[in-house]
Amino acid sequence: MTSKIIGVGNYIPSQTITNLFFDNHHFLDENGDALLQSNAIIADKLKEITGIEERRYADKDQVASDIGFLAAKKAIENASIDPETIDYIIFAHNFGDVRFGTIQTDMVPSLAARVKNLLHIKNNFCVAYDVIFGCPGWIEGMIQANCFIKAGIAKRCLVIGAETLSRVVDIHDRDSMIYADGAGAAILDVSNNKVGIQSHLSASFTFKEKDYLYFGKSFNTKSSANIRYIKMEGRRIYEFALLNVPGAMKKCFDESGYTIDQLSKIIIHQANEKMDEAIVNRFYKLYNKPVPANIMPMVIHKLGNSSVATIPTLLTMLLNNELENHSLNKGDVVLFASVGAGMNVNAFVYTF
């Protein structure tokens, strides 16, 4: 027995933020000195490396639990189920609800509890909790839900990934241009072994790597040192990902029992186009195979990096036939993979 996806949904915020939005930003380095390049050159370099041309920001009156609810509602409608039949609601995020114009995160009660309330679920035995696992949080939630179902603890789970990263960025840090807001969700149900999750893998690299992504002070030395923003060691993350993610993907895929020629798609966290391409390249090199055409759909160009939301957002778009040259069909074998703060790496293989 395993679990299968019976419904998906996403919420793509309405505010489109192009790279021109950052023209008047005053970018600084970690010492507080102005960057030598113009903002136009910085934006061009960002597009060249990450592929990002646009990103989406949530409306000012929305928080992460709001957009997570909207994605969850669509997933429930897509699955045509009664929400009262959901046994677990697992909400993956990293920063909680951060209201526009504030700096305080709010995670009490949990975002999952807030979504359950917004869905008007009365069943007290529908358990709602949050997962904090970096960008791989949604995949980790899916793995946990799958384990609950296989163990007979649950029959149906709702897994949400939502984030409003635009609320936790340092406007003086050029890395702020990468981040976006968004939400995605999926309903998992009981399945036979032919359809659904076939294998999974998770790992946490914390001995030397835990602070590659962290909360740090603004690059503006005049700002309060007690106000913290999302920060990253970009080069170290890139090197870590190339060193560790391809092997993890291979281990997970080999445990599924499929051969590499049977792999239909790789749905990877939309973190950085060049990094994702390099990861997939190295993955296929482990099999001494060239990378097949159209193996890795990308939406980072228009949606940016919305952390836990990138994969369920992309999955929903694929299943709704919203991407040119990409589709998912019955029998397709798909490898999902992610890497992020922790440093955490995970993956699962899914048969449609």
Three-class SS of 326-346:
CCCCCCCEEEEEEEECCCEEE
Scanning the structure block, which residue is given the tokens 């609320």? Answer: 167
**pLDDT tens sequence across 134-179:** 999 999 999 999 999 999 999 999 999 999 999 999 999 999 999 9
What pLDDT is attached to residue 343? 95
Sign, Cα dihedral of 240, 137, 76, 71: negative
Q: Compute the distance between CA of residue 191 and CA of residue 140 in angstroms, rounded to an integer.
A: 19
Q: Which of 185, 162, 146, 143 is nearest to 337 (CA)?
A: 143
Beta strand pairing status for 105-106 and 97-98? Answer: antiparallel
Q: Compute the distance between CA of residue 345 and CA of residue 20 in angstroms, rounded to an integer.
A: 33
Q: Which of 228, 237, 155 is nearest to 188 (CA)?
A: 155
Spell out the domains of the chain, with CATH numbers in brackets.
2-193 (3.40.47.10), 198-351 (3.40.47.10)
**pLDDT tens sequence across 86-96:** 999 999 999 99
pLDDT < 50: residue spans in the chain: none
191: its two tokens = 């399945």
Q: Compute the distance between CA of residue 118 and CA of residue 76 in angstroms, rounded to an integer.
A: 13
